[in-house]
Structure 1
Amino acid sequence: MKKLSSPAKTHKISTLILTELEYCHVINKFTGQVNLIEGPYRRIKYLWWKKLYGTIREKIIIKEGQYATIINPHDSKKRIIKHGVREIRQGPCIFSLYPGEILEDGKIYNNYVLAHDRGLIIRCIQDYREDEIMHKAGDIWMRKGPMIYYPHIYTKIEKEIEAISLGAQDGLYIKNFNTGQVRLEKGPQTLMLTPFEELYYKHYSIAEQRALKILGVQIDASRAIPLKLETEEIAMINSGETQRVEIGPKMLLLEPFDRLKTLIISGKTPKMPNILTKWKIFLGPMFVSDQLCVRTKDNAELLIHLRYKTRFNIDPKNLKKIFAVEDFIGYATETMASIIRQEAAQHNFEEFHSKAAELIEPVLFKHDLTYFRFDENYFEIFGLDIKKILPQDAEIANQLNAAIKSNMDVYVNKIQQTAQLEAERQLVEGRIEIEDTKQALYEKELANFKFKEIGNAKIEAEASIERTRGEMESIQMRESIVNQGEELHLKNTLLLLESSTTEEYLRLQQVKSFQNVEKTVILPTDSKIFVPMGDINPYGQKKQTSMI
């Protein structure tokens, strides 16, 4: 964009030479008329009554995609200047300014190439009709992309706007300056402000900035700050005259006029007021450390390091009561310190130092309760741990440390001796257990041997019984065969009796009677004789003879 200067002075000329891209204005000193001369132009000897009005200037070149606004444009047909009129000239083109024409703002502008996420806020400066729509002076509207926009002669571009993208946990404050209404737009979405809307910048108090840890940090106040509530965390939000309590886990986005309930509580050890600024409370259980000085009955000062175990025992129907005490930590620790100091004043140094926990816990947790409750805000202390207790006086502290060290040495030696005796006892018990195991093993082996012998005896007895049973069966079988033989003999005898005469029967009986008589035969040594060994057996069969 180039600014072009306006003619201001006249110069006497004798020679005038203009290139193709130059022009100038010449004034007639008699008539006062100013004329336009455009290049290319050359005149060696110029008329003495004409003078150069202003300077030689370059022609205005408007490229493709550009435009310029001309004030008081020249009407080439009527050859007059239209004073008070504006004209839009679009590129590509090249022209010279006639006398009286003015390039608005001395600039050439690029056309508006609008993407889908961009738009223009346009103001009407004079009544006109466009696309059967009547625009009145002062009207404001918006044109959205995608498009290429050339301004109208009776409009003015107020500003170019861009769509705003919001994520899932983002929020944006927007104000309608016609109605004054302020709203919160939540993501995920993409939005574009209307001509009557603007961003609203939320104000945070100093306490809120400290609680949110944004004090001194440059932030975009038009965007809502995501507030994350974890499990067992609680926060209170003031919305005008109403209050609401939020319990985690959840993500919060404050409305434009919401205010956080901030708590300024005690911190550090020992506890000091106005240390921490919180916008949310952890319901617990949590640990709170403190350190306090007490004075005993014998006027000895002790420094006690404590750690409390705390929680909020909430009532779901009255959650707002949790925020009734702003500095609940300071209030609780001061109350505990007062009770402990009062108890310490009733005991001497040695007793309180050695039995601090035994003396303090019954006082804090009375009536067989395991907690100390603050009814103002449901805050409870249900555990106490005395981490360290030391005299305030350095000399006494050193003596006490020496005594404690000596006692510790004795205690360690005792533990070592006990451990050694225990090791010896376990060794003896181990040996006894080994011997018992060996004895049990011997008894088991003996029982196994007896079981084996009994088993073998049973097997042998069963085998003997089987052998005896076999022998008996064999005897019975032989007896059965003998009986069958005798029976056969009797049958044969009966058959013989039936078939033979009485003489034959007698002779047979005689032969049988001689069968068992020993016979002696004397023979010479050189003789041979065949002796029948019984011609017929009792069964009627012949026998073989023997040779002697």
Structure 2
Amino acid sequence: MRNLTQIPPLQFVHILDLNTTVVRLIEGPQTLLLQTNERLVAGPVPMITVPLGHYCVVHNPIKEYVHGEKCDLYLGQKIIKFHEEPFALYPGEWLAGAENFLKESHDFRDAIKPMPVIKANCALRLVADLDHHDSENKVERKAGDKWQLVGPITYKPRAEVTIEGLISPTVIKAGQVIKMRATQDTVDMNGRFRVTGEEWLVKKPGEYLPGVFEEVVSVNSSYTITPHTALHLRATMTLTDVMGSQRHAGEEWLLTSDMTPEYLGQVGVDVVKVVKLTVVKKGQYAVILNPVDEKGKAQLGQKALQVGLCSFFLHPYESLDKNTVQNARILSEQESLVLQAINNFTEAFDGKKIKRKTGDRWLINGPCSYIPPVEVEIIKQRSNIPLNKNDGIYVQNLQSGKVRLVMGPCAYRLTANEELWVKELSKETEELLSLGGGMGTGDIRKLAYFEQSIDPNVVKGRDKTKVVTYRCPSNTAVQVNNYQKKTARVLFGPDLVVLGPHENFNVLRLSAGKPKVKGALKSLCLMLGPDFITDIIEVETSDHARLRIQLSFNNYFEVDKTDEASAKKIFSVPDFIGFACRQLGSRIRARVALTTFDEFHRYSAPIIQAAVFGPHEAGEPAGVLKFDSNNLVISGVDVQSIEPVDVKMRDSLSKSVQLAIEIATKSIEAAASHEAAREEQIARGQLERQKLVTEKDSERERTKLYELKAQAAAVESSGQAKAEAQAQAEKLLIESQSHIEVARLEAEATNIEHNSQLLSQVMLQKSEIDYNRKMIAMEIEKKKKFAALEVNKFREMVKALSPATIVAMANAGPQNQLNLLQGLGLESVLLTDGNSPINLINTAAGLVGSNQKE
């Protein structure tokens, strides 16, 4: 039956009465028949069994239960059940940790918890949820109170108390301290009263159990201070430090091993960092920024110099210039230092005192080792600049601003107030220098002339502080403008053009191409000639025939290289090529305009020459044309081609030429056909004759064939025996000859092998003899060169010292003794005593020796 419910032992169910809405508890074992107005809402579920040493929490515990009536519960409260008989949950009760016990899971294991066991040196922190009387400690607890139970103990939970957590002790090892903080006013384990937020240190090794209102801030290890380390400390409050000094909040100081070998820490003092010992070796120095004085105050903005050998700790606010120990500047004989004073000071140099003012610059030359004072700043380290014969540099004086050119050969050393000056050129000039002085399209003929002037150093990249040079090609001229003096100079090749600081090239922009295009060629140099200019011009005859003429003009410049005015005149026309082409084209067009096409076609060259050079008698050579503006001379004109501009005229001329070619071709074809027919008849006659000769030869050969057939038949009839005998004889003969040939070849191979071995041994012995001979010769040569080097070394040493120096070195001892006696006033004795001046010298040596012993 569906309404019949079996309830096993130690289980229970909850039955809801739909009429009264009352839920009642029924425990097993029994069989329950549900009425029509009853419904099973929970169960059967097992009763709750709490093992020994465990507990569970029941919420909304029942106050009083009357079967068949509504349960009276303590809503919002809880009770704790310990080990006892199994019990059932009344309607409305629920287990903490097993909220779904009655609905789904029927598992209450998560609700059963072991009773807290507090180990020795541990504590259980508790919080009171309700006011109650603690009978064990005989204390009245208020809601919110906190306290601890120190082990070893097993705690029996109470409903009015919440377990906040288990507190484990903090282990303080040797060399460690723990920092504690009070969360509210309390008394620590040593009996000292602590206010809220107060911090203190616990240094005693062992286990420390924090109190209820104590928290561990951090566990710190002690600092071992060695002679090579120190501690940078900062006070976060006003206090007295471990050394007994009064410190104010924010004050920083250094703790070294001279004060204490170990530091355990202090409340109110933070360890900023561990400072390592700064060691300055020999040949090193250190500049300390913001040094600390004897009273421990930082001198902000000041500097202090420490020169090795020494060591020190950087105090708070101190730092090293450039964050490192610096090496002394070691200068060779070719090096120097540029120095600048940043403050007024007096410098001792070569026994003299020199006053330096702020901003002064001076030079220190090597060889030396230099350590700058704190008032001096090293601007830069320089080396001598080696300059060859054609090398130079631009140098600027920083005081006057003037720039000058220094040329070699020399090794130039810049002064303190001099700097290398950067010579800037336009991008166009830079590109022209890298290309040898000419720039344009690849079809310009004149560009090949500039390849000889390409400087590899400029192609790789020009050093802008070095002198700008240009290899002026032969038979060319270069104009250089001085923009400071407003002058210009002209140099003729082959020569090396050297630009001064305020000079620049006059870049020529010439016309080029066919026909000429303005500015197509850029050049640094002007070609003096003789040269030629090729151009294409269009002309129109008097009968309006337009022609395109390609001309070539021979040209050169008429210049006196010793006359400055004449040299400058050739540069008076910037584009001499375009100027000449325009002038000549104008003359030719004017002259051709007066001539018909037929006349010009027959007499083009004389007409053009007359247009350029003027009329002249027949048979006489043409003259020359000179332009007075730039002394350009045109010495000849060559007509290279003439063709019509009009397409129709050009087509007509082309058709006439094609017709003439066609007529000539047809005449040649007719003559060729007649010749071919004649040769064909001759060939046919020869062919017939050859056929007759061939038939004759064929009959003769057929006769021979019949004869051979008859002989073959005779041989065949003689029998097979004769043939086999003859074959066997030939076989034996061939075998004998082959054996003889094999024996001969073996003998030759053996002979060749012996000869090759003998030859290889001879060559090997010869090579060894040659090798030993060469090694001995090289060793002898080596010994000779070593001996020569030693002799030369001794000779050069004597030559370097000079005989006078060697004599002076030999006489140095006696001379010093003589000077000593003269210094003692014994000069007159030496002059008057004629017995032995050497005795007095020895006496002086004795006096010096006795003084040294004393």
User: TM-score under structure 1 normalisation?
Assistant: 0.65
Please name the residue that 2:275 is paired with: 57
Is 2:247 the partner of 1:32? yes
User: For residues 536 and 507 of structure 2, what CA distance do their matches in structure 1 show?
Assistant: 26
Aligned length: 399
Please name the residue that 1:419 is paired with: none
Shift of 1:249: 2.0
Please name the residue that 1:386 is paired with: 639
CA contact under 8 A between 1:265 and 1:328: conserved in structure 2?
Answer: yes
Q: 1:200 is matched with which residue: 421, 432, 442?
A: 421
Change (3 A) 1:234 1:407: farther
CA contact under 8 A between 1:365 and 1:372: conserved in structure 2?
Answer: yes
Indicate the SS of the match to 1:353.
Answer: helix
Change (3 A) 1:382 1:37: same
Q: Which moved more, 1:360-369 or 1:36-45?
A: 36-45
Change (3 A) 1:141 1:326: same
Please name the residue that 2:590 is paired with: 342
Letter in 2 for 1:366: G
Shift of 1:185: 0.9
Please name the residue that 1:359 is paired with: 607
User: For residues 116 and 401 of structure 1, what CA distance do their matches in structure 2 show?
Assistant: 84
Is 2:537 the partner of 1:292? yes
Give runs of aligned pairs for residues 93-132 of structure 1, distance below 5 A: 93-99=310-316, 101-124=318-341, 125-131=343-349, 132=352
Change (3 A) 1:71 1:364: closer
CA contact under 8 A between 2:298 and 2:317: conserved in structure 1?
Answer: no
Shift of 1:101: 3.7
Letter in 2 for 1:122: L
Please name the residue that 1:233 is paired with: 476
Indicate the SS of the match to 2:588.
Answer: helix
User: For residues 167 and 36 of structure 1, what CA distance do their matches in structure 2 show?
Assistant: 59
Is 2:498 the partner of 1:253? yes
Please name the residue that 1:478 is paired with: none
CA contact under 8 A between 1:128 and 1:136: conserved in structure 2?
Answer: yes
Q: 2:395 is matched with which residue: 163, 168, 174?
A: 174
- Larger CA Rg, structure 1 vs 2: 1
Give runs of aligned pairs for residues 206-217 of structure 1, distance below 5 A: 208-209=429-430, 212=433
Letter in 1 for 2:398: F
Letter in 1 for 2:627: F
CA contact under 8 A between 2:225 and 2:263: conserved in structure 1?
Answer: no
Please name the residue that 1:302 is paired with: 547
Please name the residue that 2:353 is paired with: 133
Structure 1 runs of 4+ with >6 Å offset = 11-14, 214-218, 405-411
CA contact under 8 A between 1:126 and 1:155: conserved in structure 2?
Answer: no
Please name the residue that 2:224 is paired with: 18
Structure 2: where are the runs of 5+ without partners?
A: 1-198, 204-220, 241-245, 440-457, 617-621, 665-854
Change (3 A) 1:366 1:178: same
Letter in 2 for 1:279: L
Give runs of aligned pairs for residues 348-497 of structure 1, distance below 5 A: 348-366=596-614, 368=616, 369-401=622-654
Please name the residue that 2:519 is paired with: 274
How big is the alpha-carbon RMSD for the aligned residues of Structure 1 and Structure 2? 3.4
Letter in 2 for 1:23: A
Please name the residue that 1:191 is paired with: 412
Change (3 A) 1:35 1:178: closer
CA contact under 8 A between 1:128 and 1:154: conserved in structure 2?
Answer: no
Indicate the SS of the match to 2:247.
Answer: coil
CA contact under 8 A between 1:175 and 1:181: conserved in structure 2?
Answer: yes
Structure 1: where are the runs of 5+ without partners?
A: 1-10, 412-548
Shift of 1:264: 2.1
User: For residues 390 and 230 of structure 2, what CA distance do their matches in structure 1 show?
Assistant: 61
Letter in 2 for 1:168: K
User: For residues 254 and 375 of structure 1, what CA distance do their matches in structure 2 show?
Assistant: 30
CA contact under 8 A between 2:363 and 2:416: conserved in structure 1?
Answer: yes
Please name the residue that 1:152 is paired with: 373
User: For residues 345 and 185 of structure 1, what CA distance do their matches in structure 2 show?
Assistant: 62
User: For residues 662 and 309 of structure 2, what CA distance do their matches in structure 1 show?
Assistant: 102
Letter in 1 for 2:504: R
Indicate the SS of the match to 1:255.
Answer: coil
CA contact under 8 A between 1:224 and 1:254: conserved in structure 2?
Answer: yes
Please name the residue that 2:139 is paired with: none
After superposition, the C-alpha distances for 1:461-493 in whole angstroms (9 at most, x for unaligned) are xxxxxxxxxxxxxxxxxxxxxxxxxxxxxxxxx
After superposition, the C-alpha distances for 1:305-342 in whole angstroms (9 at most, x for unaligned) are 11111111124532221112111111111111112112
CA contact under 8 A between 1:302 and 1:389: conserved in structure 2?
Answer: yes
Indicate the SS of the match to 1:56.
Answer: strand
User: For residues 79 and 37 of structure 1, what CA distance do their matches in structure 2 show?
Assistant: 15
Is 2:285 the partner of 1:67? yes
Looking at both structures, which has the greater relative contact order when contacts are Cα pairs under 8 Å and sequence separation is at least 6? 1
CA contact under 8 A between 1:16 and 1:42: conserved in structure 2?
Answer: no
